[in-house]
Amino acid sequence: MGNHIEITADNAKANLEVFSSTLQELAENDRDILAVTSDSRGSGKLVPFAKKYPKQIIEVGIAEQVLVGVAAGLASTGKKTFAVSPACFLAARSFEQIKNDVAYSDNPVKLIGISAGVSYGALGSTHHSLHDYAALRAINNLIIVAPADNFETAEAIRQASQINKPFYLRFGKKPMPLLTEDKENTFEFGKGRVIAKGKDLAIIATGETVYPALQAAKKLKSEHNIEVTVVSMHTIKPLDYNLLKSLANEVGAIITVEEHSVYGGLGEACASFLLENQFHKPFKIVGIPDEYTVTGSQTEILNHYGISEEGLTKTALELIKKT
Amino acid sequence: MNTGELIEKSNQYRQKILKYIVGANAGHTGGSLSSIDIINVLYNDVLKVSPETFASPDRDRYIQSKGHCVEALFVVLADVGFFPEDDLNTLCQYKSHYIGHPTRKVKGVEQNTGALGHGLPLAVGTAIAAKLDEKDYRVFTLLGDGELPEGSNWEAALTGAHYKLDNLCAIIDKNTLQISGPTAEVCNTDPVDTKFESFGWAVKHVDGNDIKALQEAFSSLPFEKGKPNLIIAHTVKGKGVSFMENQVSWHHGVPNQEQYAQAIEELTAAANN
């Protein structure tokens, strides 16, 4: 396994880069691993993969519908197919192909939404994917995952390649520090990872928003003596209801955080579960509101909407008052 | 199967299509009757696939892009032994697997289709896999002429030519009518042949209701080394039943008992000629 990547606290990379290097690691021993791209090998960090395994990359040009249709056809023959395209286009332009050719036909394509959320920053709404969880959650037979750090990314890719089911995996391009160095804190689809534990409040975050949630939790503890549980809810669907239930029993209030519209994503998924199971406690969904998104870099946009150490700390202090 | 036997089969299939559409009180009558000769020749003379070999990675694949004409597919799959024909008595009934479009819950069906413009991209992907694995299976897909405006077809036409998929054969059931009227008036896609040729495909025209002509076209595959194949099958919507032929209203019209009896009478008479 010459390509096997070591993930440490000191070498934070973009999850997207770790996706690519992990795929390369897998391809070394398995010629059925395929990447299908829509002129997205550069943005998908797949240039080294393409150079090393030219027969294992299928380029279709800028054509997302055929990207997913072709990927489904390939997967139907047993190929371990990763269809890679910017999340904004993948989850919109090829939505019907995802619904019918992948999920409904049960062709086990791994759909890789790259540069997700507001990763493209000032390029604006055409390039933002704030709809993908909402749109894809309504499709039966699709596992939806947003890994938070390099460890979760590598594990998600390795494990998904061994599971004969359709997946949507979403990655950003910002370097993501490791959430924890605890080797016993493992990764399993459908099971949220508890990164920090505290009784006052739970912050349930997903993807790149887990890191600022963790920073906020540390600040809340050190400056306000508020103890916060932080969960990386990497699997949006199926959601970890057991963990949600135990959190609802243990903490005073819950905040959800996502780089997605406040409509239809992680927050509403958690809210519906909690309400349907008679858990009534202070609850706040943090995400991108239903408006024309402010112009700025990814960091500026996230800060603007309170998806930051400072913003989440403020939200937490306000919510705690209601407990 | 020889040409005479195939002609007999088509007649039987037409009668069965009508029987099950009447039973379900739903179905795409006109297109099932226009395309049945193509599906018949594929399953009984061309495709290397059977119920016994359906799990084999080396089987030929058939993907029905015009999924709404599922009745034609189901009667053929039943006849070649994928499932008991009696199952079709449940067509479109509550809790039946036999829905109004192809679904993999029915043995013999390769892909779930029904939304148009999906068969060709799926077939392109499957044909690329054959090339990657250096396998000699072939991939066939049947499109309606009415679904050609779907842009995904043209994306796939580009991709198929780019990857030189001479193991891929698309067939257009060109019955010239769609739900709103003549295809040429709804959105004219002619000339289809030169469009596909300019994309890099090898194209042949054939009378799609002529069994012998279909056999000859399929037996001459690949038409040109390194190019995907397109057969433009000129067909008659509602073929075989005088009052249904070339009538838009039979796109998804369901015969009443009197019309059904007349249709069966005509088909029986044709079989005895």
Cα B62 versus chain centre, distance: 9
Q: What is the DSSP letter of A188?
A: B
Look up the CATH architecture of domain B3-272: 3-Layer(aba) Sandwich (3.40)
The confidence score (pLDDT) of residue B273 equals 81
Contact A259, A116 (CB under 8 A): yes
Contact A66 B112 (CB under 8 A): no
Q: Return the amino acid letter for A35.
A: A
Which of B143, B152, B162, B199 is the best residue to mutate to test the A interface, defined by the most A CB atoms within 10 Å of its own CB? Answer: B152
DSSP A258-295: EEEESSSSHHHHHHHHHHHTT----EEEEEE-SSPPPP
Contact A197, A209 (CB under 8 A): no
3-state secondary structure A84-123: EEEHHHHCCCCHHHHHHHHHHCCCCCEEEEECCECCCHHH
The confidence score (pLDDT) of residue B252 equals 93
The confidence score (pLDDT) of residue A323 equals 84
In chain B, the residue whose alpha carbon lies closest to the alpha carbon of A109 is: B125
The confidence score (pLDDT) of residue A6 equals 67
Contact A121, A149 (CB under 8 A): no
Cis bond upstream, residue B191 (ω within 30): yes
Using CA atoms, how far apart are residues A75 and A108, in angstroms rounded to an integer? Answer: 6
Helix/strand/coil for B139: strand
Contact A315, A285 (CB under 8 A): no
Contact B104 A105 (CB under 8 A): yes
Using CA atoms, how far apart are residues A227 and A204, in angstroms rounded to an integer? Answer: 14
Which residues 204-233 in chain A show a CB within 8 A of chain B?
A: none
- The H or E element that residue A83 is part of is strand A80-86
Contact A65 B122 (CB under 8 A): no
Angle formed by the axes of helices B3-24 and B211-219, nearest 10°:
110
Q: What is the DSSP letter of B48?
A: -
In chain B, the residue whose alpha carbon lies closest to the alpha carbon of A94 is: B152
Parse chain B into domains and list their residue ranges: 3-272
Chain A nearest-CA distance from B139, in A, is 10
Computed over every residue of chain B, the mean pLDDT equals 97
Terminal C-alpha separation, chain A: 51
In chain A, the residue whose alpha carbon lies closest to the alpha carbon of B55 is: A77
Using CA atoms, how far apart are residues A28 and B114, in angstroms rounded to an integer? Answer: 38
Chain B nearest-CA distance from A190, in A, is 27
Helix/strand/coil for A166: coil
Place of tokens 């370097």: A175
Please give the domain boundaries of chain A with CATH numbers for all domains: 15-170 (3.40.50.970), 193-320 (3.40.50.920)
Contact B121 A61 (CB under 8 A): no
Characterize A50-66 residue by residue with b for buried, 16 or more Cβ atoms within 10 angstroms of its Cβ, and e for exposed: beebeebbbbbeebbbb
Place of tokens 């000032």: A122
Q: Which one, of A123, A99, A124, lies nearest residue A111 by Cα?
A: A99
Contact A97 B130 (CB under 8 A): no
Cis bond upstream, residue A238 (ω within 30): yes
Which of B118, B134, B162 is the best residue to mutate to test the A interface, defined by the most A CB atoms within 10 Å of its own CB? Answer: B118
Q: Which one, of A205, A149, A156, lies nearest residue A179 by Cα?
A: A149
* pLDDT tens column, B30-60: 999 999 999 999 999 999 999 999 999 999 9
Helix/strand/coil for A50: helix
Using CA atoms, how far apart are residues B231 and B214, in angstroms rounded to an integer? Answer: 9
Contact B137, B129 (CB under 8 A): no
Q: What is the block-wise mean pLDDT of chain B (273 residues), using blocks of 10 residues?
A: 97 98 96 98 98 98 98 98 98 96 97 97 98 98 98 98 98 97 96 98 98 98 98 98 96 96 98 89
Contact A32, A166 (CB under 8 A): no
Q: Is the dihedral of CA B38, B41, B46, B51 positive or negative?
A: positive
Place of tokens 């600040």: A219
Q: Please give the structure tokens belonging to residue A106.
A: 């049960």
Q: Return the amino acid letter for B273.
A: N
Q: Please give the structure tokens belonging to residue A297.
A: 């870099």
Each of the 323 residues of chain A gets a pLDDT tens digit; together they read: 344 566 776 789 999 999 999 999 999 999 999 999 999 998 889 999 999 999 999 999 999 999 999 999 999 999 999 999 999 999 999 999 999 999 999 999 999 999 999 999 999 999 999 999 999 999 999 999 999 999 999 999 999 999 999 999 999 999 999 999 999 999 999 999 999 999 999 999 999 999 999 999 999 999 999 999 999 999 999 999 999 999 999 999 999 999 999 999 999 999 999 999 999 999 999 999 999 999 999 999 999 999 999 999 999 999 999 88
Q: Which one, of B132, B138, B154, B149, lies nearest residue B229 by Cα?
A: B138
Q: CA B53, B57, B61 angle in degrees (round to 5)?
A: 75
CB < 8 Å to A96, chain B: 115, 118
User: What ipTM was predicted for this assembly?
Assistant: 0.95
Contact B125 A65 (CB under 8 A): no
